[in-house]
Every structure is written in structure tokens, then in C-alpha cells.
Amino acid sequence: MDVLIVEAMEPEVLQWLGARHTLRFAPELARDALGLRQALFNVGALIAPPSVVLDAPTLRFAPVLRAVGRLSAGVESIDADAVAQAGIEIVRPGTASAGAEAEFAVGSMLQLLRRVPVPSADGMLVGRELSGAIVGLVGLPAAARPLAELLGAFGARVTGYDPAVHMSDPLWALWKIAPLGLRELVAQADVLCVLLHDFTRYKGLIGERFLAECKTNQVLVSLSSSTLFDDEALATALETGRMAAAWFDSMEPSMLDFGRPLRRVRNLQVTPRVASTTRESRLRSAWTVARRIDEILGAAPPRPEFRATSADALLDLEAGPASA
């Protein structure tokens, strides 16, 4: 079998792939780790949702696997080291969801600015406009460019910070974003928008050191992992009124557990990673992943007729999947 698909995909993409490769569509395997292992033996490419864990023990059952496709951006459940060691390419949709994420971020900003009133000069509680606001972007993923364009059309001033992009890089001018240091950006922004990719070295990056100086009545929109924030510092900023409200589209469940600082915060809104999920972005993602998998399989060397499964792998299969 060339391709095993365990994630829902658009019919036209399935038909296109099926015309080129032997294909099995089995979304039920996303909930059956043992069945998935059994199905992987002769599979050249796998398309699976984030709920499917691909670790070293699982990959031992996939001796001819050359590609793993993800329609969503997250790859947290894939053991990158094990995949790289096995010579397997992780196929991701790239910029397919950038426009959807940009639209979601703008919509979130508009709602927070209008729905969360602040005192005017005469003491009346009023909403605010995006026009004329300073929006600070933390991180420059693909979504930052269309987001900056949309914000410019609203008349907002866009500033930005990315620890991996030097302030002299021409990318800032190309995307029409004014580069600032993180402290200065947080202190000036009416809207703080966090887009930074989730790396271990950035854990807790945005904490008391910066949030203590955030602009009065600032609102926060984050499409990044909540682990980038120090939750105690964020809770303090929201509860004391330094920050008017926050919207997270990706919140680690443990950060809202009983006893955690953000559990008691009322001006915090959380959505379950919906920023990148639209009908249009899923179709773009599906085509991007399908075409790359077609290229990989077309360039693949002849598959071995038989490769013995190790005794350890047989024991693992008999025992069932390891707990994730």
C-alpha cells in the first residue's frame, strides 16, 4: 500500500491521490493505536491527525514509511528525532493556513477592543477602534505578513519583535512592520499579538519582566502556545487591570487546572485552536500535503519485497500500544 490516510480529507484530494497511488482511507485508526501499528507495515506515506502519536516504537512497524503528512500545523505528537533517524519526511501545509490565522487574529482584536470597555476622558466606559491603534506582533511566522497587511488597511500601526530575526533584516521593511525590542513593544502596544513558534528555549519568555510594563488597557491575542507565558505574571496583569483582556487560541489544559493562577481570571477567553481551521485553509492544506507526498513517493527507490520485523517489535505489538 502506498498511502494510509487516517484523517478526514476533501473528496477531490482523496480521488486525486487514489488515481496515482494505492490508497487506504481508514479514519477509525486514529482511535486505534494497535490497529494503526498493524496497518503500517507496507505503507509508504501516512496522513494522520495530531491525536495520532508517532514515536520510535510505532515507527518500528513502518519499515518502508517515507513520509508523514499533517494537515494541521502542530507536530507535537511526532517524535522528530525518531522520524529523522528513520529517514522519514514530515510533510506540513506550510503557509496554507496563514490567511485564516491572520483573519482570526484581526477578528479577535476587534472583539476585545469593542467588547471590553475602558474609561474615556469623561469617565464613560467605551469601546475602542483598531484604527490608530498600535499593534505589536511577537513572532514572524507566515501569518504575520497577511496580518500586517490587514492591520494596515484598518489604519493600525504595526510593530514587531522576533528573537530569530535581526532588527536590520530587510524582512521588516518588506512586510511593513517596524522592529522593536520586546520590552519596548510590550510597553507601547494597544494590542499585543503573539505568533511566536513554540520552542523549548522560549518557555516562559513573556513574564513579569515585560508584562509589568505593558501599556494600560492593553489587550492580548495569542495564537501561540500558552507555555510562552509565565502564567502567574499574566494572571497578575489581567487581575490588576494593567491588561484589559486576553484571548488565547491555544491554551495548555494544565494551565487552567484548579489552583493555577489563570483559573481565577475572568477576563480571559480561550478557543480550541480554531484560528487555522477553515474550510478554505483545510482544502489548501490537503492539496499541499497530497502533492508533496505524491512527489516523495514518485522519487522513492523500489521498496524491498520483505523486511523482517524484529522480535522486540513483535513483543510490543502483542502487548499493545504504550501509553502516551
pLDDT at position 250 is 86
Query: In this structure, is residue 22 part of a structural domain?
Result: yes
Beta-sheet strands, E only, within the chain: 3-5, 23-25, 45-47, 67-69, 89-91, 118-119, 125-126, 134-138, 157-161, 178-179, 191-194, 218-222, 243-248, 268-270
pLDDT the model gives residue 314:
43
Number of domains observed in the structure of the chain = 2
80 and 168: one domain? no
Place of cell 522520524: 83
**Which set of grid coordinates corresponds to residue 250?**
491555544
Domain region containing 224: 98-270
Model pLDDT, residue 73: 61
| Residues 201 and 246 grouped into a single domain | yes
Q: What are phi and psi of 218, to 5 degrees?
A: -65, 145
For 107, 128, 216, 220, the CA distances from 119, given in Å and listed in that order, are 22, 10, 11, 18
**Beta partners for residue 193, in sequence order:** 137, 221
Q: Is residue 136 part of a domain?
A: yes
Residues 173 and 199 in one domain: yes
CB neighbours of residue 253 within 10 Å: 8
SS (H, E, C) 110-175: HHHHHHCCEECCCCCEECCCCCCCEEEEECCCCCHHHHHHHHHHHCCEEEEECCCCCCCCCHHHHC
Q: What whole-number distance in Å separates Cα of residue 268 and Cα of residue 219?
A: 10
| pLDDT value of position 322 | 47
* Burial of 311 (C-beta count, 10 Å sphere; 0-12/13-18/19+): exposed
Instruction: For residue 277, count other CB atoms closer than 10 A to its CB.
Output: 17
* Judgement on whether residues 234 and 255 belong to the same structural domain of the protein: yes
Closest CA to 163 of 207, 198, 196: 196
Run means of pLDDT, 10 residues per run, the chain, 324 residues: 92 95 95 94 93 92 95 77 93 91 98 94 93 97 97 98 96 97 97 91 92 95 94 95 94 90 94 91 94 89 49 49 45
Distance separating alpha carbons of residues 42 and 31, to the nearest angstrom: 20
**Among the three residues 251, 270, 289, which one is the final residue of a domain in this structure?**
270
Sign of CA pseudo-dihedral 124, 127, 132, 136: positive
Within-domain flag for 275: no
Structural domain contains residue 126: yes
Same domain, 238 and 301: no
Q: Check whether residue 80 and residue 126 sit in a common domain.
A: no
CB 66 within 8 Å of CB 314: no
pLDDT at 312: 54
Residues 256 and 196 both lie in one domain = yes
Do residues 265 and 314 share a domain? no
The residue to which cell 491603534 is assigned: 133
Residues 155 and 217 in one domain: yes
In this structure, are 217 and 70 located in the same domain?
Answer: no
Assessment of whether the complete model's pTM goes beyond 0.75? yes
What was the pLDDT predicted at 35?
95
Does one domain contain both 16 and 118?
no
The alpha carbon of residue 317 and the mean position of all alpha carbons in its chain are separated, in whole angstroms, by: 32
- Note whether 20 and 109 are same-domain residues: no
pLDDT given for residue 307 in this prediction: 47
CATH of the domain at 87: 3.40.50.720
| Residue 324 covered by a domain | no
